[in-house]
Structure 1
């Protein structure tokens, strides 16, 4: 049985909720990624994506050098442990329609990595088509207007 620790990306960078939206976007640009885990010290408290920055900050007229990550991040974060079976996490991603899941150490609950749909596609090919199909289904808005 393959576990998440076998396929996850270990070099994960996080951002503080007090950082500016501009700094989060700069880090995403430097790393060529579309999302960052948000950590308060060593505790995972959210995720911020390039879409969060665009829709929740820019579209709302927030100044990127003044708005904080905490203003735009998603707080309901799905995460997994490094020793969970890959198939279990793929089901979680499919059910929640998410493409990336932060990975926590089972004992300390600290962020130690991230697993993405790309990791699954390149390192664990079984069932990836089904997971991608479910993730790509249209979803409902995540907040009231």
Structure 2
């Protein structure tokens, strides 16, 4: 039986009192989308690129003065390194999330597992990425798109992919209409021939 420990990635953690700007640099340097927030190896929460976009950038809060504690999600979902990959997949699907923190037997942060690690992107259906964004003005008043959330969906059609992505975005942001939280979205076909 394949267990989480066999497919997870090592966690890159961030401290609760680090500034958002430093956390964003960690995300970029490691080319990842989330950082478990840890204190002495114990899980306090999760910081995602979406948390930074929605709770810091979109609210015009300074990334140099805002701490991780102020924008992190405190209810981080986790699984054990000894859980089966099926259990981890069921947890992610049931909670409509794409990642889980992995804890060791002493309940310390050990890694992160994503749907991609479980082969969640592998299917005969075609993958699309739907990127939700907010329009913000820079210091000169020029508009720029700030990415709020990127959803990868395997679906038969572009329309079905958009429908699934909108549902996931609304569930994540706790809104009934995606337009409340985002100014728009862009659909990217990630397969040849589209």
> Into which bin does the TM-score normalised by the smaller protein fall?
0.7 to 0.9
* Aligned: 1:6 with 2:6: yes
- 1:68 aligns to what? 67
Q: SS where residue 57 of structure 1 aligns?
A: helix
Q: How many residues align?
A: 136
In 1, the alpha carbon distance for the partners of 2:65 and 2:44 equals 20
In 2, the alpha carbon distance for the partners of 1:96 and 1:85 equals 17
The RMSD of aligned alpha carbons is 2.4
Q: Which has the higher strand share?
A: 2
Give the structure-2-normalised TM-score: 0.64
- 1:111 aligns to what? 109
In 1, the alpha carbon distance for the partners of 2:102 and 2:59 equals 31
In 1, the alpha carbon distance for the partners of 2:97 and 2:116 equals 12
> Rg larger in 1 or in 2?
2
User: How far apart are residue 142 of structure 1 and its match?
Assistant: 3.7
- 1:38 aligns to what? 37
Higher RCO by CA contacts (8 Å cutoff, separation 6 or greater):
1
* Aligned: 1:53 with 2:64: no
Moved over 2 A (4+): 135-143
- 2:98 aligns to what? 99
Q: SS where residue 112 of structure 2 aligns?
A: strand
Give the structure-1-normalised TM-score: 0.84
Q: Give unpaired runs (5+ residues) of structure 2.
A: 124-152, 155-163, 181-194
Q: Give unpaired runs (5+ residues) of structure 1.
A: 127-131
